[in-house]
Structure 1
Amino acid sequence: MKSLDMRIPESMTSEVLEIASRNYANHSQTYSASELIQAGSEAQIPAEFIQYAIQEVQTQKQRRQQQRKVLAIVGASILAISGIWSIWTYNSFSRRASQVEAQWAQVENQLQRRADLIPNLVRVTQAYTEHEKEIVSVLQQSRQAYLQADTPKEKAAAVEQVNEAINHFQDYVANNPQLQSSQLFTNLQYEIAGTENRLAVERMRYNQAVQWYNQRIQQFPNSVLASGLGFQTQPFFQATTTEP
């Protein structure tokens, strides 16, 4: 024990006295078994009943302590399981979201390839006629609209404009036998058809990835975690392709 002559700072005095008072009160409120038996005898309670009561109270206290320990272990286990589930689910969301982004990149590749065919269509048109400025303008405007689009929704709207432009060009070709016989136009037709086929495949894969992702984050209880982490449903790409 430290020396009783040790000086205690004034700032600690009130706290020391408070703790000492509480400990003394707890100590003064305890009783020995003999004291309880003596008190029981004054109330004409046999000693064996007092001893039995002491044992029962001690047993109940131990049981409550065990129950609290079990509850603490169960609570810790639930927290641990919840944490593991949250991490696993977050990683699952991230993986699905990455798949959607990757598939959209493939769709964009084909859309870009398709838009890049428009300058060739313009050159073919200008090579065979100088009077179809309207077709040239429609083609150029549609490509510019696609290049300015950013989101899947904007891309879908721009693709519709590209579709209309290409369809308009093909209607013009149908009434121009000289252009139909052009080898350059024939080559473009093959490129358009090939691009449409690849775009259809990539669009299907993208929509499948979006479906899997949306289903994942909309299922309960995943939806609660997804909302809190900022994961949102993604739109499907519904743009139609043109007929080659």
Structure 2
Amino acid sequence: MRDLDTRISQEMTPEVFAVASRLYAEKSQEYSLQELMEAGAEAQIPPEFIQQAYQEIQIKRQQAQERRKKLIIILASVGVVVGGWGIWTYNSLASAAQKVDSAWAQVENQFQRRADLIPNLVRVTEASAKQERDLAALLTRSRTSYLQADTPGEKAVASTQVSQAINQFQNYVANNPQLQSSQAYINLQYELAGTENRIAVERMRYNQAIQAYNQKVKVFPNSVVAKILGFESKPLFKAEIKEVPRIN
């Protein structure tokens, strides 16, 4: 090593020792119990106290390690429980949403059935009178609107238009005794009455499915999972304000 005879100022000496101590500590991070006892002897600390201190520190570290292990196990268990609950909640919400979709499909089936009756209504009203031609055109337009609807909301609105057109047909027939007595109209009355009753039943089932779904979405803590996963409340399907056709 060069420069061994270099003179170091008194002001610089403490800093040299501090850096040297740090470098030595970094190089040698472990000490034997014997070395600690020897160092303790220089500080006039009896060896048995060094040994006792070492044992106490070992016990504390073991206890801390055990606590960390227990904490990890607890956190892992909580994670498994929360994850399992989250999966169960998602499946429950998804199942409820599927029931809503299935119930709506049944409502749509009955809407379609009613819309499919319109061509028969048009044939019943076929005549040269302007009122009858206008009624036939109204019935046809309402059916076309329903067939062109895509979303549940659009179909509900279009179905209301179909219902209103059928109401006008019923009013027209009420003022036409000859048409009331025709077998074609009587058959249609049975079809319309049955369809309207089925629509009412399926609409009720759909709203029941909506209520069950909304309850799952809104109740805590399901609401937390629902919000994270994008499950939102759905509106009820309000009944159309109309009477079920009567069979004369």
TM range (shorter): 0.7 to 0.9
- The DSSP-based 3-state class of the residue aligned with 1:126 is coil
Contact 1:113 / 1:195 at 8 angstroms: preserved in 2? yes
- The DSSP-based 3-state class of the residue aligned with 2:68 is helix
The structural deviation recorded for 1:174 is 1.3
CA 35–25 in structure 1, closer or farther in 2 if over 3 Å, else same:
closer
Give the aligned CA root-mean-square deviation in angstroms. Answer: 2.0
Q: Which residue does the alignment assign to 1:43?
A: 43
For residues 126-165 of structure 1, the aligned pairs below 5 Å read: 126=126, 130-131=129-130, 132-165=132-165
The structural deviation recorded for 1:177 is 1.2
| Structure 1: distance between partners of 2:39 and 2:25 | 20
Amino acid across the alignment from 2:142? S
| Structure 1: distance between partners of 2:43 and 2:94 | 73
The structural deviation recorded for 1:166 is 1.0
The structural deviation recorded for 1:49 is 2.1
Contact 1:166 / 1:242 at 8 angstroms: preserved in 2? no
Q: Which residue does the alignment assign to 2:119?
A: 119
Contact 1:143 / 1:162 at 8 angstroms: preserved in 2? yes
Q: Which residue does the alignment assign to 1:19?
A: none
Identical aligned residues as a percent = 62
Which stretch of structure 1 is more off in the superposition, 233-242 or 111-120?
233-242
Q: Which residue does the alignment assign to 1:214?
A: 214
Q: Which residue does the alignment assign to 2:78?
A: 78
| Structure 1: distance between partners of 2:25 and 2:100 | 68
The structural deviation recorded for 1:195 is 0.8
Q: Which residue does the alignment assign to 1:15?
A: none
The answer to whether the aligner puts 1:54 opposite 2:54 as a matched pair is yes
Q: Which residue does the alignment assign to 1:229?
A: 229
- State the Cα deviation string for residues 59-100 of structure 1 (Å, max 9, x = none): 111011111111111222122222222222222222112111
Amino acid across the alignment from 1:130? A
Contact 1:157 / 1:239 at 8 angstroms: preserved in 2? no
Contact 1:163 / 1:241 at 8 angstroms: preserved in 2? no
- The DSSP-based 3-state class of the residue aligned with 2:86 is helix
| Structure 2: distance between partners of 1:26 and 1:67 | 29
Unaligned runs of 5+ in 2: 1-23
Q: Which residue does the alignment assign to 1:242?
A: 242
Unaligned runs of 5+ in 1: 1-23
- The DSSP-based 3-state class of the residue aligned with 1:106 is helix
The structural deviation recorded for 1:240 is 0.9
Contact 1:89 / 1:222 at 8 angstroms: preserved in 2? yes
Q: Which residue does the alignment assign to 2:183?
A: 183
The structural deviation recorded for 1:26 is 6.7
Count of residue pairs the alignment pairs up = 220
Q: Which residue does the alignment assign to 2:171?
A: 171
The structural deviation recorded for 1:158 is 0.8
The structural deviation recorded for 1:33 is 2.1
Q: Which residue does the alignment assign to 2:88?
A: 88
The structural deviation recorded for 1:25 is 6.3
Which stretch of structure 1 is more off in the superposition, 134-143 or 225-234?
225-234
| Structure 1: distance between partners of 2:190 and 2:72 | 70
- State the Cα deviation string for residues 126-183 of structure 1 (Å, max 9, x = none): 15x6332111111111111111111111111111111111111111111111112222
| Structure 2: distance between partners of 1:191 and 1:216 | 38
